[in-house]
Chains A and B, each alone.
Chain A
Amino acid sequence: MLNILIADDEAPARNRMRDLLSEIENVAVVAEAKNGKEALNLALQTKPNLMLLDIRMPVMDGIEAAQHAQKLEPKPHIIFTTAFDAYAIKAFDLNAIDYLLKPIRLERLQTAINKAHALQPNQIAALKPLQKMRSHLSIHERGRVLLVPIETIIYLRAELKYVTVRTAEREYLIEESLTNLETEFGERFIRLHRNSLVAPQFIAGYEKRLNQDNEQQWFALLKEIPETVAISRRQQHLIRET
């Protein structure tokens, strides 16, 4: 039995997909989601073998959901569905990524399900340019996948091997490079120090005090959390600009 998760923001589209799947043998719809984030959360509980992801959805689109889904155990097969998205379709064709065009035909769905496979690393890489910026960071933690909305992140700080992601509630660790994060989220964060990116709207003010080496240094005070972030000499001009 193949367990399937359907994600589409339009109820009629989900109904239609369910109707079609009911005519295919050995498949079961285990969950229906209205957007990518809901799909990932439901996938954690229902462990589907196959996710049918609409591309254009609010909150989190199908392309981003597919990327986060790589952290799920077992890795689900992915088939994208779309009514029309010229760019995505071109990329899918070039990289042999499975997709279905709405309205979907039963035979096409059947064939797609039979040959569906998990996304390969090169296919994941091909999906990256289709989206500007992730809306969430996914964090793999004790067999769970946590989704942290980008707008709740106060700062990102590079540690030895990891990057610490700090929100008002807690810290998370992710295995990504700070440089890559800066490239992707440059619009949202500013670099205050070699090892830290801070969201400007969380900066409450600045203060000058002695650091661990007994030197005078500027620190950014943050809203909602007591911690401060050191500002390197090279970035001090940012204080004057704000």
Chain B
Amino acid sequence: MRKNSRLPNFHNLGIHLRILLIVNLLAMMAAILLSKQIGEFFPLLAQLSALVQPILLMSMLGLYSLYPLLKKLNYWQSTVAIILLEIGFTFLVFSFINYYFVSDSNTDIVRACLLTAIVTAIVLYYFYLQERAYSPAIAEARLQALQARIRPHFLFNSINAVLSLIRKQPKRAEKALEDMADLFRVLMSENRDLVPLAQEIGLCHQYLDLEKLRLEDRLKITWQIDDMPSEAMIPPLILQPLLENAVYHGIEPMPEGGEIIVKIYTKLKELHISINNPYAPQNDHHSGNKMALKNIKERLKLHFDLEANIKTEAKQNRYEVRIRLPTGAY
């Protein structure tokens, strides 16, 4: 956890995107207020933009590079520092413009600095509220509520399968119970911290071994993970619930079963995971179970904000879930 955790993470692109959006919206509002007719709006906006964009650009670069220093201050100190920094940038930009371009009515620098201070305060307050909504305590509570829950369907069917083995294949029954214990230990623990990808894959193997017990040859799985960065850190139980979905909706409704294809690779410093399974909508009487997906989406957001996403696609009797998340995240 970062020390000054209420300070927005200026190394996160999503934060900068939000700053750009808010400041430009405010500029637009100002242009609307200043224009007497709609015709004046665009020239005014262009004029304002010419002032606002350089300040924004400078502050983006400034905040990005000063972030490690800002982190060392406490929240109030860093807030004051940021507001002063922004006023400084405004002062620079306006002095530059006054010096080189406008000679007659010098744009009032004090007025501009005051405006910048207010806009900066508004943006910081927005992040403060957002941070509070996602504050560690609340985020933790939500993470716990979001703990991936295993389907009771799977639990009871697996126990039933193990019971069928006890008399004739006690060795296999033993291994199955051990796998089940490992799986449930992870499911029941507090899964707040990121885990190495290899650990999650191991858990998936144990889970799939249990499913194979019930589904036998109907369950075929192909791992395309040779280029996978085993040490990459991911939130726990991202992959397993998706495999559970793939088995429940893609394999169980098919009399002959089918193949699940898991692909994991890195591209441009991002980790890509895709899970592809057969799908026949008419066979799926229990559709509408989007719980696992929604859950993973929430957890990715809590961990990575806008830097991770999850997409699904159904085409030609196949269904695919794709996840993208940053590697080497904080």
Contact = CB atoms under 8 A, between A and B. Distances in A.
Contacts of A103: 156, 159-160, 163
A9 interface: yes
Contact of A83 (B157, B215, B255): B157
Given A9-B252, A103-B160, 12 more contacts: A10-B215, A12-B160, A12-B161, A16-B161, A56-B286, A58-B254, A58-B255, A59-B255, A83-B153, A83-B155, A83-B160, A102-B157
B215 A84 contact: no
Nearest to B251: A58
A122 B151 CA distance: 31
Given A61-B285, A131-B285, A13 B252 contact: no
Nearest to A131: B285
A54 to B, nearest CB: 10
B322 interface: no
B166 to A, nearest CB: 9
Interface in B150-209: 151-153, 155-157, 159-161, 163-165, 167
A85 B152 CA distance: 9
A177 interface: no
Contacts of A59: 255, 283
B216 interface: yes
B181 to A, nearest CB: 17
A15 B164 contact: yes
Nearest to B248: A56
A103 B161 CA distance: 8
Interface in B94-136: none
B285 A132 contact: yes
Interface residues on B, range: 20 to 34
A13 B153 CA distance: 13
Interface string B7-50: 00000000000000000000000000000000000000000000
A12 B156 contact: no
A69 to B, nearest CB: 18
Counting contact residues on chain A (CB < 8 A from B), the size range is 20 to 34
Nearest to B176: A12
Given A9-B252, A10-B161, A13-B161, A84 B214 contact: no
Contacts of A104: 160
Interface of B: 151-153, 155-157, 159-161, 163-165, 167, 213-216, 252-255, 282-283, 285-286
Contacts of A34: 255
A13 B157 contact: yes
B255 A13 contact: no
Main secondary structure of the interface of A (DSSP, over half): loop
A101 interface: yes
A10 to B, nearest CB: 5
B252 A58 contact: yes
Contacts of A135: 282
9 contacts: A12-B213, A13-B214, A56-B153, A83-B153, A84-B153, A85-B153, A102-B160, A103-B156, A103-B159
Nearest to B256: A58
Given A12-B160, A13-B157, A56 B255 contact: no
Contacts of B159: 102-103
Interface string A198-242: 000000000000000000000000000000000000000000000
A12 B253 contact: no
Nearest to A55: B285
Contact of A102 (B156, B254, B283): B156
Contacts of B153: 56, 83-85
Contacts of B156: 83-84, 101-103
A19 B254 contact: no
A185 B252 CA distance: 24
The 9 closest A-B pairs by CB, nearest first: A16-B164, A83-B156, A12-B161, A12-B164, A84-B152, A103-B160, A83-B157, A58-B255, A102-B160
Contacts of B165: 12
Interface in A3-31: 9-13, 15-16, 19
B164 A13 contact: yes
Nearest to A15: B164
A56, A58, A104 interface centre (most CB from chain B within 10 Å): A58
A102 B157 CA distance: 7
A35 interface: yes
